Structure 1
């Protein structure tokens, strides 16, 4: 008659070191799971303390606090009569582990440490924890006195074991373990485990979700079983945004999928599954033979828990959850939603007065403004959520504020300014003013020529020399210095306005957070002034390529009904730091000596594919020597050498980069996961010599081919 079990997993917006807030969200998720009829609840990785505690994991207090909070959770009356899988950091024999703690009715059944730690890209788990790299090995763990008193247990099993209930077997797999070549779920499935839990702290990157969900689907498509994936969601206190998407998959097919981007602090999904479906799926000759041939088995922790109390009685009201297609967002939607959710978390948790953005009229600051507009839209669409409503009222210091349009939020929390000079065009000034009007920001249109002139005059009085622009006969040194004066003064004005603009409007709130708007390609190339208005508090687009930003703006023009965005897309990218004449308009791509598309390719080869100058040249020669580009070996070599030169001489700028929303793996942010030196020989002399040798070999080979073709003719 079927063995029906209702199980639940969740997205939780946890915050590093917010122990009491994290506790409350965990308890709320357990309540929701029970309300949905679930007898098993799975939560995200390290949900007690927050995943992103970083070097705070080195503090012993954190582990003591985590145990205290865990005790409050499992002793709470609302957390009884449900099997709980909760993420807790634990010290065992003086060694720190990333663990799952399985409990039922205030009794701990198993502490399962993570076997494989994430230690690449953004992740540094081996800096804080030790992997339990002993599959199927277990020991006894002595509980802290307070927990022992609460549970009535002195010791519990600690290690790689499984749970056996009256109907089935459950096993834990934590985040990174899913991505390893020998994932634990394979061995567990061959030892009779039918339900797998995966608790994760997986961050958002553009176009990454399909990789994650394909691995989860494949896990049970090959082995059979039920897979519950839980994830952290939100800004955990750093550059990353954890993008939720908790999922339940049965035999390779999705039966429940939570949202990827949302302002909900707690989102619980559940599904009713029939264990007989798993058993039928697994009843194949090859799988059954592999199972009975295995001699090394897991220790099973027996628990007299009945997950499906109606298994022997037919109940027409219990219906298995139907399968559904996996839901993915377009990359343009990911840009609209991910950074917007990140901005909302940053704003409500920092409790500042809003955001200030230098709005230049170019596409980068435009994209940043549109992302803030998207944040306001999300808040309006989520205003029925009690926490969202409470947060917006707290931020605006208005207990009656219930916005109905995104512009109503922007008018109170979003400030923009066009900081023009004599080098600014009327077109960029108009675009900035019109966009500000459409999104509803409090906009200041100003000129700062008197400030620029004052600085230049101060220099002239001190030195007796006055610099002039290159087009008027000045040197490149003078030209660059005059551009940088304007850029750096904008940073000074930005912070002045961020502190005082709310005061000019008699607002009760404090200062504003300054938003940067340098994209990942310009950061990689170093095409920005150090300590200019790229130096901000946070940067929503610092991990997004120019190419993707253009696509996002084209998408937002239609989906956000902002026709003014078309003018941003078609405008030539320019810094407008040099005078405009009849014969000259400054162009970003001309200044950089490379296109934005080329920069994106350079960036991915450098960081993601781990190419040095020579390897990059060889790969790009094979790509760019073909149609439609048809570049010569010399042309490709020149582009590669130019990129590495400017990347190297501008590395020092990366040490001061504004904390940016992480969206691309090739971000040069050296404070987190691009740990390269910033003082190196920018000519890369040995690699350049090797490139020249390869170019020579290519030319000789082409001459031979040409000669042989002529001889044949």
Structure 2
């Protein structure tokens, strides 16, 4: 019987180009793993420089600095006695690789480059790196001179290799490779590999953890084996939030899982496993037949045992446990909140400014900030030293740490209702005030009529033309122009207040606030926002979250955060309040958009996730919305054409959209995730629309023929 083996994986809050901080966290995770008795430690993808360096990976300095960090790990004797799997970028024969260094007792055992690169959606790895698209190929890597001297040799193996220790066999795959159809772990397992490591830089999207867990479960359930999954956690300087959740699986069962959302900078998961269970699991003759025919890997012999030589009667295996998932509503509460905290503390800003309209979107933004404050207070109570240090610097109004989320929110969050006498309702003003009181934010109420009137009159004085709202007999053009004056004025005022409120409040050390946007993904998709209005901000925590999910989040927070005031927001009619309120007319978002938020969510998913153009979307919706008693083909056609018309004429707005937390896979984020033109041909003359019309006419003709028979 083989002795038991204790293994560790981790989630680290790395920051792009923070070499000193990243190195500190890497070393801390290794020491924690050693202290727990682990003989193997796995870390996140590209953990030395940080995953999100983007075009900095084209700079040779990043590679030199990464070797400096690795040299520090190699020469630190306190890190000896454990196999370390650490991620870094490498230059090899003038090609750049996303790689892993496997080291033991200050020596590099091998370098393992990534075989298949993530190159869709948010990822552009092939812009920076070359895939090692040669499974099982191994060659020699020439070490930097300083490392050569320490290593005692010029070369180490680089490639897709297997490590053979005295008591087991292990191999690595990296992030995207798990998601590919022919994953490396398949042939590795058939070659007798018992322990698989996976270093990832996997960002959070709503409901994405389910996919990760399912893939690892399936990999180890079919193949048997121990799988150590490591991931980055936190905001490393971009729109993505890496949600951690490092895990250890044995034969399809979870035996260790770290938190998915956390303010901790270092989380280490340790499990003790019995390799005999893996060997017993691989009993099927059909597996044996495939194993003897599988392609062979080059093995590197390592004179080291992962298991302990002594027989410890007290040692036992870590029992399986069910996976821990968060509801999507909880993900909205936790993911953007953790992202905001990292952004706030690392940007050195004094806090946040939120234009609070009394509607559900700005309400959701404010509630997420309040959720962040709750997480910070919980971390302070748990003694998190980094959070305490950051809070002492940010919450500067008091020498004592805030004791409640409301106290912290008052120090770092300012809200403002910017209304107009004839457009803003009493209800939205009161809702904004009540919400600010509940979360504890510093709240102001400012009327912007003077700014609106002054701006409107500039045109009248210059041309003699006096624009009017539609309800006052004005044209559609004038109606929209007057609405946009208000919207854009709010953006200017928001930044003015964000720069001055710290001085108004006599904040020690001064400072300025980050302006938070509050346009949701559906409004961005439809283009139902004013370019450079108060949706233009520094960052937007809800810019990739659907209205449907935001409503669910608010309903969840109403109970779980004890915020009954949120009920009023859920039942309020969504409105921009940019047109005068009369007895006959109150502006409504869904009436203005000529489609519902639920429909927008469906259109967005079909467009981005299912990759459907107008005609393809029409055919799909014929199946889902058509049939007896449902929408007619012509009604479906009109909805599809209307969506694409507004989507295409408003695409230009996404080119300047506020950087938003990425949460939804149908996000129209133009900066990286959803690359599309922003100047389209006239929509109603498009080829696809003609095909839709021809299909509708043919269907209606057949229907008439049936009715006359």
TM-score between the two structures when normalised by the length of structure 1 = 0.98
What do the CA deviations read for 1:430-484 (whole angstroms, capped 9, x no partner)? 0000000000100001111111111112221111121111111111111101100
- The size of the alignment, in residue pairs, is 704
Aligned to 1:413: 412
Q: How does 1:238-637 map to 2 (within 5 A)?
A: 238-294=238-294, 296-310=295-309, 313-383=310-380, 384-397=383-396, 400-422=399-421, 423-507=423-507, 508-626=509-627, 630-637=630-637
Q: Conserved in 2, the CA contact under 8 Å of 1:644 and 1:682?
A: no
Offset, 1:309: 2.0
- Partners of 1:473 and 1:645 in 2: CA distance: 27
Residue 546 (structure 1) shift = 0.4
Tell me if the contact between 1:396 and 1:412 (Cα under 8 Å) persists in the aligned partners.
Answer: yes
Q: Where do 1:47-66 residues align within 5 Å?
A: 47-66=47-66
Name the CA distance, whole Å, in 2 between partners of 1:96 and 1:613: 40
Deviation at residue 706 of structure 1 after TM alignment: 3.0
Please, which runs of 5 or more residues in structure 1 have no aligned partner? Answer: 709-713
The Cα shift of 1:400 comes to 4.1
- C-alpha distance in 1 between matches for 2:30 and 2:401: 29
In structure 1, what is the Cα distance between the partners aligned to 2:85 and 2:337? Answer: 30
Conservation of the 8 A alpha-carbon contact between 1:554 and 1:565: yes
More deviation in 405-414 or 618-627? 618-627
Residues 136-175 of structure 1, C-alpha deviations (whole Å, 9 max, x = no match): 1110111001111222231100101011111000000000
> Distance in 2 between the 1:343 and 1:153 partners?
46
SS at match of 1:552: helix
Cα offsets for 1:295-347 (capped at 9, x unmatched):
x311111111121123xx43111110000000100000000000000000000
**Greater mean alpha carbon deviation, residues 159-168 or residues 396-405:** 396-405
Pairing 1:2-41 to 2, within 5 Å after superposition? 2-41=2-41
State the distance in 2 between where 1:573 and 1:322 align.
Answer: 49
Distance in 1, matches of 2:385 and 2:12, equals 16
Contact 2:3 2:308 (8 Å CA) reproduced: no
Q: Quick check: 1:248–1:257 contact (8 Å CA) kept in 2?
A: yes
* 2:182 aligned residue: 182
Q: Give the conservation status (yes or no) of the 8 Å contact 1:397–1:509.
A: no
Structure-2 separation of matches of 1:283 and 1:189:
13
User: Is the contact made by 1:646 and 1:682 (CA closer than 8 Å) also made in structure 2?
Assistant: no
Q: 1:711: which partner in 2?
A: none
Q: Deviations over 1:365-403 (max 9, x none)?
A: 000000000000000011110111011111124784322
Classify the secondary structure of the residue corresponding to 2:400.
Answer: coil
1:703 positional shift: 2.4
Structure 1: distance between partners of 2:559 and 2:417: 25
Contact 1:352/1:509, CA 8 A, preserved across alignment: no
3-state DSSP of counterpart to 1:157:
strand
Contact 2:519 2:540 in 1 (8 A): yes
Write the distance in 2 (CA, Å) between the matches of 1:182 and 1:509.
Answer: 56
C-alpha distance in 2, partners of 1:527/1:166?
63
Cα distance, 1:707 vs structure 2: 3.7
Q: Are the equivalent residues in 2 in contact too, given 1:411–1:442 (CA < 8 A)?
A: yes
Q: Which residue of 1 aligns with 2:700?
A: 699
Shift of 1:364: 0.2
- Provide the rounded CA distance (Å) in 1 between the counterparts of 2:638 and 2:461: 42
SS in 2 for 1:52: helix
Provide the alpha-carbon RMSD of the alignment.
1.1
**2:67 match:** 67
Q: Is the 8 A contact 1:11 1:231 kept in 2?
A: yes
User: Cα offset for 1:626?
Assistant: 3.6
Q: Which runs of 5+ in 2 are unaligned?
A: none
* Contact residue 396 and residue 509 of structure 1 kept, 8 A: no
Cα distance, 1:159–1:324 mapped onto 2, change above 3 Å: same
Structure 1 range deviating more: 528-537 or 455-464: 455-464
SS at match of 1:382: helix
Secondary structure at the aligned position of 1:670 is classed as: coil
Distance (whole Å) between structure 2 residues aligned to residue 89 and residue 398 of structure 1: 43
Q: Residue 705 of structure 1: CA displacement?
A: 3.3
Moved over 6 A (4+): none
Specify the SS of the correspondent of 1:262.
Answer: coil
Given that 1:41 and 1:84 are in contact with CA atoms closer than 8 Å, whether structure 2 keeps it comes out as yes
- Partner Cα distance (1:589, 1:627) in 2: 26
Q: Tell me the SS of whatever aligns to 1:173.
A: strand
Q: Deviations over 1:633-692 (max 9, x none)?
A: 111111111111111111111100000000111111111121111011241521111000
Report 1:647-662 matches (<5 A).
Answer: 647-662=647-662
